């Protein structure tokens, strides 16, 4: 929303006017301006039912007041409306941007909603250091440098970074490691770094490598490879065979990127390709990314849609939400014409700062790219529908096994991991009709100092108290946090009792809790299940529900162990200097640079410590005392 946006009057409290449905909408129309803006329809308890934009708020909302609805779904939405809110904007373009932002944030039940919208990985060549670092990046562009992406998968970006290191020998180490090196690291030995840290390459030579990497990533790959080939030939002519061999290896690495990209277009340098396939009230949008004339991967999305939604409307809504927080290319190719293509292009131009074209190609290579994406969308939706059908049957079997009233929509599984109580971590994984919801996994670092080492019951109490205590507070504040239908605890009767006690203290007594105990000798298939008021029981060895529950337990175990290992590794890497008051990242870097390691700092005298930039006499004395307390 821009600074000049005006909030128009509206009934912010549902039911505050005593009107609802079409009567409420007719009352609202009387006060609406004939100007662009965004409207929200609210249901009971201020639930956002729908968010829409309009060139004229008065004319658009009048359609709802006339009662001529295209679908039963819209009629149902109007019937549920208890209040409306309005925001006016200067232009329809601003209204479109605001609408996309609100839909993505509020996820109204009657809108097309983009789901599973994770950020994409990029490659960053930093420009805030004399020896620029190449690295994987995810998130906002807060670091000065050149960003290249998006890459559709972490695997793709990791592979590309590795190949670029081989081709251009750029460093990937952190600044602190770079500044404390006294000899080349292993990456230099395996010919993946030119070792600027110890001056094995001049500053000018390193800048040339950075320039070549930038040129390659911006589409000048042929020019870079041609230049390297010329240098290799010259080195061979000069009998510099070792240099020629190194250049040969760099050329091979660059060739590997091009060969492994799959389809690489000749006429499309930079574009995103969107292809939609909708069937049976479900939809898949397949997105392909092309940058520097190379295919940088693809990803399938399954937005929430309704059977009555038109293909063009789905594309419109999807594009607006997709580019809410992503870089926008100059060309966007579509499988279906977008009704608001001109408006979208204008909005994207405002966001990106350059011209953006939306097109539905009819022939040529661009059409082949779209058709290829459409084939992938059709196949991905087919797999999704088959999986959904099988998943529904499995969840129905779980419902029957545990005597639940309905199939669980959200299952949370808890497990702990530690070594003799040290670096203890609790893990929570989430699953539902669409499979594992990995963006909702949570880890809990065990904080309590009163627990005996290895007290699994106490750890489970802490994890559940933190998880459901927060849920209760959010519900009391009028929010709607995710609430599970089924909670699985890794353990037997003791773990189940601890979980019951904790949730009873919080007043959470309407969630089914089940303990899953491993069989004798931890054999899969012999698990016993514990439920309140029931004797322990087992499921049929070949039951699909049993296999599913084993997968859930194993995933929780994997996640908890992984979180524990990360915490343990961080603890092992902890530097003694981190515990000294007054020694921040800057002084720590200076001390390590001066003495090589924390052990070197421990051997230094106060007089030597004072010579380090930023270390005063009192701080030097404090550092010396820390290492000589005994």
Over residues 240-250, mean pLDDT:
76
Q: Is 70 exceeded by the pLDDT of residue 13?
A: no
Alpha helices per DSSP H over 267-409:
311-322, 341-352, 364-401
Strand order in the sheet with 282-291: 294-301, 282-291, 271-279, 331-334, 357-359
Predicted pLDDT at 7:
43
- Cα distances from 176 to residues 145, 356, 593, in angstroms, run 19, 41, 8
In the chain, the N- to C-terminal Cα span, in Å, equals 61
Over residues 297-309, mean pLDDT:
86
Give residue-wise pLDDT tens across range 218-227.
Answer: 766 667 777 7
Contact 388, 434 (CB under 8 A): yes
Where residue 256 falls among pLDDT bands split at 50, 70, 90?
A: low
Predicted pLDDT at 12:
39
Give residue-wise pLDDT tens across range 47-76.
Answer: 899 999 989 999 888 888 887 776 788 888
Domain limits, the chain: 6-106, 121-259, 271-383, 411-571, 576-627
Over residues 377-403, mean pLDDT:
85
Which of 188-202, 451-465, 534-548 is the least confident region? 451-465
In the numeric block, which tokens belong to residue 568? Answer: 């343990």
* DSSP label at residue 36: -
Give residue-wise pLDDT tens across range 322-381.
Answer: 888 788 899 999 999 999 899 999 999 988 889 999 999 998 889 999 999 999 898 888
Give residue-wise pLDDT tens across range 539-548.
Answer: 887 788 888 8
What topology does CATH give the domain 411-571? Nucleotidyltransferase; domain 5 (3.30.420)
Q: Is 80 exceeded by the pLDDT of residue 387?
A: no
Count Cα neighbours of 125 within 13 Å in the Cβ-side half-sphere: 24
- What is the percentage of the chain residues whose pLDDT exceeds 90? 19
- Cα distances from 282 to residues 163, 287, 378, in angstroms, run 39, 17, 11
Which of 6-15, 443-452, 540-549 is the least confident region? 6-15
Q: Domain 271-383 carries which CATH code?
A: 3.30.420.340
Predicted pLDDT at 414:
94
- What is the percentage of the chain residues whose pLDDT exceeds 70? 90
Count Cα neighbours of 84 within 13 Å in the Cβ-side half-sphere: 31
Predicted pLDDT at 525:
60
**Closest by Cα among 539, 454, 464 to 496:** 464
Over residues 22-28, mean pLDDT:
87
Indicate the average pLDDT of the chain.
Answer: 83
Over residues 504-520, mean pLDDT:
86
Give residue-wise pLDDT tens across range 583-607.
Answer: 888 888 888 888 877 778 888 898 8
Contact 525, 535 (CB under 8 A): no
Q: Domain 576-627 carries which CATH code?
A: 1.10.150.20
Contact 430, 440 (CB under 8 A): yes
Q: Which CATH architecture has domain 6-106?
A: 3-Layer(aba) Sandwich (3.40)
In the numeric block, which tokens belong to residue 475? Answer: 């519900």
Where residue 581 falls among pLDDT bands split at 50, 70, 90?
A: confident
Quick check: helix, strand or coil at residue 331?
Answer: strand
C-alpha to C-alpha distance for 356 and 349, rounded to whole angstroms: 6
- Better pLDDT: 200 or 521: 200
Contact 42, 129 (CB under 8 A): no
Predicted pLDDT at 314:
92
Contact 33, 9 (CB under 8 A): no
Quick check: helix, strand or coil at residue 101?
Answer: helix
- The string of DSSP letters for 146-186 reads EEEEEES-HHHHHHHHHHHHHHH----S-HHHHHH-SS--H
Strand order in the sheet with 48-54: 6-8, 83-88, 37-42, 48-54
Over residues 515-520, mean pLDDT:
79
Cα angle for residues 114, 115, 119 (degrees, 5° grid): 95
Same fold, 6-106 and 271-383: no
Q: Is 90 exceeded by the pLDDT of residue 488?
A: yes
In 10 A of CB 281, how many CB atoms? 11
Predicted pLDDT at 468:
93
Query: Bridge-partner residues for 51, per DSSP?
Result: 40
């Amino acid at each position: 929303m821009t600074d000049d946006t005006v909030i128009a009057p509206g009934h912010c409290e549902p039911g505050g006017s005593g009107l609802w449905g079409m009567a409420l909408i007719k009352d609202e129309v009387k006060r609406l301006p004939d100007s662009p803006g965004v409207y929200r329809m609210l249901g009971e308890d201020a639930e956002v039912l729908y968010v829409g934009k309009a060139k004229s708020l008065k004319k658009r909302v009048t359609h709802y007041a006339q009662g001529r609805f295209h679908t039963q779904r819209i009629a149902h939405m109007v019937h549920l409306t208890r209040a409306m809110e309005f925001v006016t904007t200067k232009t329809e373009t601003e209204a479109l941007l605001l609408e996309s932002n609100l839909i993505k944030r509020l996820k109204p039940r009657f809108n097309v909603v983009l789901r599973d919208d994770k950020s994409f990985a990029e490659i960053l060549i930093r420009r805030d250091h004399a020896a620029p670092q190449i690295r994987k990046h995810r998130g906002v562009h807060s670091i000065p440098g050149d960003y290249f992406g998006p890459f559709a998968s972490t695997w793709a970006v990791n592979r590309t970074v590795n190949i670029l290191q081989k081709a251009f020998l750029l460093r990937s180490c952190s600044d602190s490691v770079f500044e404390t090196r006294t000899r080349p690291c292993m990456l230099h030995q395996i010919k993946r770094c030119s070792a600027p840290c110890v001056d094995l390459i001049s500053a000018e030579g390193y800048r040339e490598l950075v320039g070549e990497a930038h040129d390659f990533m911006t589409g000048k790959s042929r020019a870079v490879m041609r230049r390297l080939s010329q240098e290799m030939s010259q080195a061979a002519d000069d009998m510099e065979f070792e240099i020629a061999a190194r250049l040969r290896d760099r050329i091979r690495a660059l060739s590997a990127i091009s060969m492994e990209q799959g389809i690489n277009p000749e006429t499309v340098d930079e574009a995103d390709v969107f292809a939609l396939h909708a069937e049976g009230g479900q939809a898949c949008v397949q997105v392909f990314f092309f940058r520097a004339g190379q295919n940088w991967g693809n990803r399938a999305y399954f937005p929430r849609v309704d059977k009555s939604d038109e293909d063009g409307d789905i594309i419109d809504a999807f594009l607006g939400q997709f580019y809410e927080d992503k870089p926008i290319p100059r060309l966007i190719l579509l499988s279906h014409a977008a009704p608001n293509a001109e408006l979208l292009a204008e909005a994207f131009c405002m966001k990106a700062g350059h011209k953006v074209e939306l097109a539905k190609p009819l022939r040529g290579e661009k059409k082949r790219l779209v058709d290829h994406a459409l084939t992938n969308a059709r196949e991905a939706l087919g797999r999704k529908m088959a999986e959904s059908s099988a998943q529904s049957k499995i969840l129905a079997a779980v419902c029957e096994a545990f005597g639940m009233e309905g199939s669980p929509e959200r299952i949370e599984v808890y497990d702990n991991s530690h070594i003799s109580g040290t670096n203890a971590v609790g893990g929570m994984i989430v699953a539902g009709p669409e499979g594992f919801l990995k963006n909702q996994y949570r880890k809990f670092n065990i904080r309590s100092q009163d627990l005996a080492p290895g007290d699994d019951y106490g750890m489970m109490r802490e994890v559940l108290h933190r998880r459901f205590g927060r849920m209760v507070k959010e519900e009391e504040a009028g929010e709607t946090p995710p609430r599970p239908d089924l909670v699985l605890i890794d353990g037997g009767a003791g773990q189940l009792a601890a979980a019951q006690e904790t949730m009873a203290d919080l007043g959470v007594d309407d969630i089914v809790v089940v303990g899953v105990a491993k069989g004798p000798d931890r054999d899969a298939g012999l698990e016993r299940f514990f439920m309140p008021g029931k004797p322990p029981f087992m499921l049929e060895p070949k039951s699909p529900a049993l296999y599913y529950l084993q997968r859930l337990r194993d995933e929780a175990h994997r996640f908890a162990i992984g979180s524990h290992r990360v915490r343990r590794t961080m603890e092992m890497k902890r530097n003694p200097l981190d515990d000294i008051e007054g020694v921040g990242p800057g002084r720590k870097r200076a001390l390590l640079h001066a003495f090589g390691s924390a052990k070197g700092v421990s051997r230094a005298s106060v007089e030597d410590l004072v010579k380090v930039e930023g270390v005063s006499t009192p701080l030097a004395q404090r550092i010396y005392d820390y290492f000589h307390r005994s």
